[in-house]
Amino acid sequence: MTFSIVARDPVSGAFGVATATAGPMVGALVPHVRGGIGAAATQAMTNPYLAIDALTLIDQQPAEAALAAALAKDAEADRRQMVLVDAAGRTAGWTGPDCTGFAGHLLDTNVAVAGNMLAGRAVIENMMAAFRAAEGNLGRALLAALVAGAAAGGDSRGVGSSALLVQGSQAYLDLDLRIDTADEPLAALDHLLGLATSGSYAEFVAEVPKR
């Protein structure tokens, strides 16, 4: 039903998540970021507490252990899917056996991708490759991954909503972009990212107090 990517910028330490699905409002429950701690995407039969619990634990233990502990509390873990990245760039993933195919995830240092009800494995493979090719600007690299996933077939039902979050060293999100429903949500997300990172809005954000 959903394809997502979580990542850490090894230079700045910022975390990001980008996600897309056929249904509306994917940004409400799937993407989760905690500055300086980690990022997660929780999907399939979505349980947001998987991400909340794992990110609560992840500053005390590696991503894999945090994910395992969160899954152990979920009686329906076989229906869930999640990917997670921690502050050391370690990643972890889970695709429950009851997720609708194609379903799977890929893990690498500082980045993980996952999807379910996809057109095929090429969706997550192309996402990973596109992110690696576009590294440099985290927000743009995350969006490039979504676009590549969609081009490979994406959600087998189509794409109806998308979201992108990035958090760096501040307590607030650097980017909190959501296309809750649209005919072309990835194009709309691209437009919104452009507005957020240039022009008067970017100038305004530059003046927001930092700590």
Q: What is the pLDDT of residues 6-28, one digit of tens each?
A: 999 999 999 999 999 999 999 99
Q: State the average pLDDT over residues 43-68.
A: 97
- Domain of residue 153 covers 2-206
Tell me the longest C-alpha to C-alpha distance in the chain: 48
pLDDT per position as a tens digit, 153-198: 998 899 999 999 999 999 999 999 999 999 999 999 999 999 999 8
Q: How far, in Å, are 50, 62, 75, 85 from residue 68 at the CA level? A: 10, 10, 13, 13
Output the pLDDT for position 199: 82
Within-domain flag for 191: yes
Within-domain flag for 25: yes
Q: Considering the entire predicted model, what is its pTM?
A: 0.97
Q: State the average pLDDT over residues 27-43.
A: 98
% of the chain with per-residue pLDDT over 70: 100
Within-domain flag for 114: yes
Output the pLDDT for position 2: 97
Output the pLDDT for position 200: 86
Beta carbons within 8 Å of 77's beta carbon, 6+ residues apart? 71, 94, 96
Within-domain flag for 211: no
% of the chain with per-residue pLDDT over 90: 91
The confidence band for 206, taking pLDDT boundaries of 50, 70 and 90, is confident
The total of structural domains in the chain comes to 1
Answer for the pair 127, 145: CB distance below 8 angstroms, yes or no: yes
Is residue 203 pLDDT above 90, yes or no? no
Within-domain flag for 189: yes
Within-domain flag for 90: yes
What does the alpha-carbon distance between residue 97 and residue 79 come to, in Å, rounded to a whole number?
7
Q: How far, in Å, are 26, 55, 79, 185 from residue 88 at the CA level? A: 27, 13, 28, 32
The confidence band for 103, taking pLDDT boundaries of 50, 70 and 90, is very high
pLDDT per position as a tens digit, 60-70: 999 999 999 99
> Domain of 66: which CATH number?
3.60.20.10
Within-domain flag for 16: yes
